[in-house]
Structure 1
Amino acid sequence: MPWKKDSTKMELRLEFVTLAMRESANISALCRRFGISRTTGYKWIRRYKAEGKEGLSDRSRRPRSSPNKTADRVEEAVCAAG
């Protein structure tokens, strides 16, 4: 994102959400101005409405589960054989 050097990510996200929540806001134009996709813009608005300022922080991209993960007993057997 092409952010201003003096501002933090959180400050700029908060600025975006504040402007976007105005009654006459043009979300598409704001997204272009901030260099983000509309999907990201609407995600930030949704998170801000649900969680407040904390909703604008970065989140882990780690998957919640790994369905194809090797079973623990198989992993232990391989390690014991090696």
Structure 2
Amino acid sequence: LTHIVDRRFVEITTIFQGFHGLDEIRSKNPESYAEEMQTAQEQIFVCNYRFIREYTKSKDDSWMINKLNHFSPKELVMNSDIFRR
């Protein structure tokens, strides 16, 4: 007799955007924000994380990262053939 266990998992995906030196830009004149952001595009970064945890009854599990991706949008555009003319 084979016993089949129902296994349940939960996955959560999070996406963070960051900007190196944002405090410095904020300390400047508010009217120059747009211009400063355009010239500092290489300081923007994106972090993607996907977490998984098993929630099967009688199973004590921890959250684990099962996908991880960090990148700079500007570098992605510069290195992609899609955006080249």
Q: TM-score range by the shorter chain?
A: under 0.3
Choose between structure 1 and 2: higher helix proportion: 1
Q: Whose relative contact order is higher, 1 or 2, with alpha carbons under 8 Å and at least 6 apart?
A: 2
Question: Given the two structures, how large is their TM-score scaled by the length of structure 2?
Answer: 0.22
Choose between structure 1 and 2: higher strand proportion: 2
